[in-house]
Structures are given as structure tokens and as C-alpha cells.
Amino acid sequence: MADTTSELQWLKHLLQDLQVDLAAIPTLHCDNILALALALNPVHHSKLKHIEVDVHFTLDKVKDGSIRLQFVSTHDQLADLFTKGLCSPPHTYLCHQLQLGPSPPSPSVQLIQLDGFSTHPAEEGC
């Protein structure tokens, strides 16, 4: 998350140098609840020392209003379309979210509860 925060800062400064005003604060979407929780409220723990600097960098940028953090569910993670081999239903859904191709029929999204974990049926296999 710190790498992306750094990239957002670089892009923000580049746009300012080009005299382009941002209409809104850049938003960093993340599907990892723990990473978001640590970035917003860092917990000092001996096992987390290696990420402490990264967490504080992101936290500082959130506090000074340079970026916003927002949770996005794994089901709606648009980057998966480009980084993973997806089965047809999630591929079609994400293409539709990006307005690529014809509009598919509206699938009913159901979550399956397994031992306290929620999973999307399409993630379980093709």
C-alpha cells in the first residue's frame, strides 16, 4: 500500500507541475481489511516491525488529506480482470463493471458461509 501511496503522490505532484487541479482527493482501494486497519490505526507489535515504516507513511498521507483509503470487496476487485485467470461469470461481471462489451444478464451474487469465512461461489472453481 505504501508503494501505491508513493505513486499517487508522484502523480499528484506531476499534475500540479502541469497546472492540472485535481477535482477530488485520490482514493486508494484495497481489499485487505487488515492492511486498511493497520494503515488507519497502526498497532505496534514485534511481528509487524518490518512494515512499520510503510504503515506510518500511508497513515501520514491519510492524516494530511493527501489520499483516502477505501475498502473494496474481493468480488469487485477490478484488477483481478487483468492479473488472474478468471472463470466466465466473474470475468463477465468485471468486464461489465468496466463497461467492456455488451451488458450481461444480472447475476444474483450469493455468498457461501464456511466456518466463519464468506466466499463468492465463482471463486471456488470453474
86 domain-assigned? no
2 domain-assigned? yes
38 domain-assigned? yes
125 domain-assigned? no
105 domain-assigned? no
Report percent pLDDT > 90 for the chain. Answer: 10
For residue 22, what is its C-alpha cell? 485535481
3 state SS of 1 = coil
Q: What is the pLDDT of residues 87-100, one digit of tens each?
A: 888 888 888 888 88
One-character DSSP codes across 23-54:
SS--EEEES-HHHHHHHHS----GGGGGGHHH
19 domain-assigned? yes
Number of structural domains found in the chain: 1
82 domain-assigned? no
For residue 36, what are the domain limits?
Answer: 1-71
Rg (CA), the chain: 18
Kindly indicate the confidence band of residue 69, based on its pLDDT and cuts at 50, 70 and 90.
confident
Quick one: average pLDDT of 99-108?
A: 63
Backbone angles phi, psi at 117, to 5 degrees: -110, 140
pTM of the model: 0.59
- 97, containing H or E segment: helix 88-97
3-state DSSP percent of the chain in helix, strand and coil, to 5: 50, 10, 40
